[in-house]
Amino acid sequence: MRRLTLVSLLGLMACPLGASAATAYKDAAVRMLDGTVMVQKADGSPATALQTGSVVEEGDAVTVYDKSWLILKTRKGDEIGFTGDTVASFDQLDKEGGDRELRIILYHGTLLLKATDSSSQQSYFEVHTGNLVTSLGDSQLIVTYDPAKSHTRLQHLRGRISVFDKDGEHHLKTEGAIWNWQDGHLVETGDPDLMDQVDVINFNHFFNGDPLIIPSPTY
């Protein structure tokens, strides 16, 4: 027993200090993009154009111009899509071991989100739109924010979504539904409207890089 203990101790001493510590990452990779997409670093250096294969880091602000789009993928496997005329920054973008800390500030525009689940209680994925905080579990969601109208719209495709507003916390249970907030208050008091099937199909087309379906005009 003494010998085994000594051998084990020597083995531990041979390991470099910190070898068992989890590696921390604070970036997300550009998976696909098209058009003009710029990134502004937190240090105030001149904005630069993003390219496929480059990364966005914690603290970066991303601007996606009209008729452009972007898809990022985190090291946890979350996918974050930007449509045209959208500005957002990554207040936190941190993965360490099994934990993920992701906080996006959406200033205006639309984000398409595919969030992975995590068994860690320390993990979170949040989107801030004005005075609303949307928390995602294993889910798919479209967030649109218009600060001029103080309006946030959530298109909840599936999964666990919670929203914290001026009135408290809401757990969104109806999948494939549309929810609206005006001035920090939930508009829907009854059953929400359901998403158009074309929007659901386009969500999947977007992340696959396929052409989007243009809805038929209504008269």
- Could you tell me the domains of the chain? 23-208 (2.60.120.1440)
Torsion angle of the four alpha carbons 29, 31, 33, 39, in this order, in degrees rounded to the nearest 10: 0
pLDDT score for 18: 43
Evaluate whether 154 touches 146 at the Cβ level (below 8 Å).
Answer: no
Environment class of 210 (CB within 10 Å of its CB; exposed 0-12, middle 13-18, buried 19+): exposed
pLDDT at 123: 87
Q: Which residues of the chain have pLDDT under 50?
A: 1-20, 218-219
**% pLDDT > 90, the chain:** 77
What end-to-end distance do the CA atoms of the chain give, in Å?
85
Residue 213, amino acid: I
- Residue-wise over 33-59: b if at least 16 C-beta within 10 A, else e? beeebbbbeeeeeeeeebeeeeebebe
* Under 8 Å between Cβ of 154 and 137: no
Q: To 5 degrees, how large is the angle CA 177–CA 93–CA 136?
A: 20
Contacts of 146 (CB under 8 A, 6+ apart): 108, 152
Q: Which residues of 146-159 are buried (b: 16+ CB within 10 A; e: fewer)?
A: eeeebbbbbbbbeb
pTM for the full predicted model? 0.87
For 60, residues 6+ apart whose C-beta sits below 8 A from its C-beta are: 39, 40, 41, 42, 89, 90, 93
Quote the pLDDT of residue 122. 77
Give tens-digit pLDDT for 66-98.
999 999 999 999 999 999 999 999 999 998 877
pLDDT reported for residue 11:
43
Question: What backbone phi and psi angles, to 5 degrees, belong to 155?
Answer: -110, 105
| Residue 167, token pair as written in the block | 């009135």
CA–CA separation, 79 vs 57, rounded Å? 15
